[in-house]
A and B are shown apart, each in its own frame.
Chain A
């Protein structure tokens, strides 16, 4: 090869690389917020009938961007350029002047029965389009498509996936007249579906490892038995019907074994149940209350609650050698409802502080450091991690009615996602279902 051709090759490589170099990367350090300001120019549509959905999409994208904790979402009141400005005529100076690093623009066009949603992402400093996606959507799927876009955009910037947007949240809604609903919804509160409803008590839902079924306790037969409901077919089967409590299921990653709390021996103990054979293996053995098991992602450990020290605290046991039990929390007098993060880094739990306030806390497994996620915002309980370990869903009465909130693990981004006629309680995030 001649020197000339080598030089040409090098130039070609350099030219190819330039766009990559010029792409901005958001520095993700331990979930800390990078100084990246993003402007979401309101999604534009000419048709009045689509104004509402366009507005919803804009707000939803802002909410998700905000929740990630990676971005500062700029206030649209400060924007200098109109939403209808076509992509080819963007004056990036207008966006630089409002402090934007990134710009999202969107357009909806009617196409017969359906709509076309165009979403764009630009690097403002370089005036460069980094992403364009075109979706065929309906009123029902438009928001989902915009979440897909945000997923791709964040993956482009950080290399990370926002799986929380594609998983479901199950929870119990409890009404003052004694009715209970088992509800499944999208992470943002949309597409709610009541999958089971009863005048008898419904308690403590938890997803199976494959995300197809939900374990829950019902008093339908006047004893708190554990059932599983198929989310699609709504078919219900009995999982555990021993005398006394059959509650608090937690799924092992093998999608066969669950940990649960039984009180058939006279007091609450944690068991493993092989749901295919019905075989039981006892994990705890003492006079104290042992409950609320939560498997670690590798299925080797179970975080749980015990009052063996006199007050309820968080412990963990090792499935191979269940007599090896380690106490994890020593602060406070009332720590409850542990939930292992899917990446194994944290155990979230509800703690009651010295002022009798209930808040969400995180126990970092490696450092044993406890941090507080909620504070001065009412009573906050029963945290559950998103499948990407990025967010928590929990119930809070900060608005006066017990409803559902999302928070990032730092606790500095929180969003109210559902409030109904009853109390929305014990939310639980599904494993990754759709991608």
Chain B
């Protein structure tokens, strides 16, 4: 019995020495994983090597999980080497490896192809909207007025009328002035942009001419507006 225990102790100690030798290759794994991530830049231009590295990495992880640390270490080192090669390839072949940037450029050019609507004599005028009880021009509507100003510069014989409107809430009397102030705010902006005041008429319709007859926020927003109309 005693002999048996002694034998077991010896076997265990030998086993533990053996296991101690095969420590998990944590450092190698870390290096390999990082290198592989970095190699993603060459994913498309050095595709073959990238797929190979990916395959190697998957195998390495598998071995690691199965505690075949020796094999895993070798594989991780290989992944690292392969990844470094991809990065090197990427660095030395910019023409092949930067295709995405080239692909985006034509799209942007297409945008510039679209004609400025201000060139169109029949341009549909934009509509300017306002906050409740307010007649200041919102930041997002400045460009709409700039567009109309460009159009008026392109067609200098044209006269426009700006119609100020309100939503259905509040005093009929006061809304007449609110609508007028909205139309005036747009008119003054056009003048700032260089349009002759003689070419701009204004009229307020108060809350008498809603675009949307409903009584909700969406309709109210639609109805609080300044509209451009062609006079001649």
- What residues make up the interface of A, taking CB atoms closer than 8 Å to B? 174, 176, 201, 203-204, 222-224, 244-245, 247-248, 261, 263, 266-268, 289, 291-292, 305, 311-312, 334, 336-337, 350, 352, 356, 358, 381-382, 425-426
Contacts and interface: CB of A to CB of B under 8 A. Distances in A.
Instruction: For the complex of A and B, list the 8 residue pairs with the smallest distance between their C-beta atoms, beginning with the closest.
Output: A336-B171, A268-B177, A289-B177, A292-B173, A201-B208, A337-B171, A248-B173, A336-B174
Contacts of B205: 201
13 contacts: A176-B213, A245-B177, A248-B173, A263-B177, A267-B184, A289-B174, A289-B178, A291-B176, A292-B171, A292-B174, A305-B173, A337-B173, A382-B171
Contacts of B202: 244
Given A268-B180, A289-B181, A245 B174 contact: no
A144 B9 CA distance: 124
Given A222-B203, A245-B204, A266 B184 contact: yes
B172 A426 contact: yes
Contacts of B177: 245, 261, 263, 267-268, 289, 291
A292 B178 CA distance: 13
Nearest to B208: A201
A356 B178 CA distance: 18
B170 interface: yes
Nearest to A266: B184
Given A266-B184, A289-B181, A358-B170, 6 more contacts: A174-B208, A203-B206, A245-B204, A267-B181, A291-B173, A336-B174
B227 to A, nearest CB: 15
A312 B172 CA distance: 13
Nearest to B161: A222
Contacts of B172: 203-204, 382, 425-426
A263 B181 CA distance: 10
B133 interface: yes
Contacts of A381: 171
* Residue among B173, B202, B213 having the largest count of chain A Cβ atoms under 10 Å: B173
A350 B171 contact: yes
Contacts of B203: 222-224
B217 to A, nearest CB: 12
Interface of B: 133, 169-174, 176-178, 180-181, 184, 202-206, 208-209, 213
Q: Is the interface of B mostly helix, strand, loop or mixed?
A: mixed
A345 B172 CA distance: 25
A118 B204 CA distance: 55
Contacts of B133: 311, 334
A398 to B, nearest CB: 15
Contacts of A352: 170
B163 to A, nearest CB: 11
A382 to B, nearest CB: 7
B173 to A, nearest CB: 5
Contact of B173 (A174, A247, A263): A247
A222 B178 CA distance: 18
A203 B170 contact: no
Nearest to A379: B169
A336 B178 contact: no
A244 B180 contact: yes
B174 A291 contact: yes
Contact of B176 (A247, A350, A356): A247
Contacts of B178: 289
Contacts of B206: 203
A51 B208 CA distance: 43
A305 B171 contact: yes
A267 B164 CA distance: 13
Contacts of A222: 203
Contacts of B171: 292, 305, 312, 336-337, 350, 381-382
Contacts of A382: 171-172
* Residue among B169, B174, B202 having the largest count of chain A Cβ atoms under 10 Å: B174
Nearest to A310: B133
Contacts of B184: 266-267
Contacts of A356: 169
A13 to B, nearest CB: 59
Given A201-B205, A224-B204, A245-B204, A263 B180 contact: yes
Nearest to B175: A336
A1 to B, nearest CB: 71
Contacts of A224: 176, 203-204
Nearest to B179: A245
B226 to A, nearest CB: 15
Contacts of B213: 176
Contacts of A266: 184
Nearest to B201: A243
Contacts of A204: 172-173
A423 to B, nearest CB: 10
Contacts of A263: 177, 180
A264 B92 CA distance: 74
A284 to B, nearest CB: 12
A223 to B, nearest CB: 7
A204 B203 CA distance: 17
Contacts of A292: 171, 173-174
* Residue among B169, B208, B209 having the largest count of chain A Cβ atoms under 10 Å: B208
Contacts of A336: 170-171, 173-174
Contacts of A244: 180, 202
A223 B180 CA distance: 12
Contacts of B174: 289, 291-292, 305, 312, 336-337
A19 to B, nearest CB: 53
A54 B169 CA distance: 42
B110 to A, nearest CB: 44
A315 B181 CA distance: 21
A378 B112 CA distance: 54
Contacts of A311: 133
A174 B210 CA distance: 13
A201 B205 CA distance: 8
B173 A334 contact: no
B44 to A, nearest CB: 58
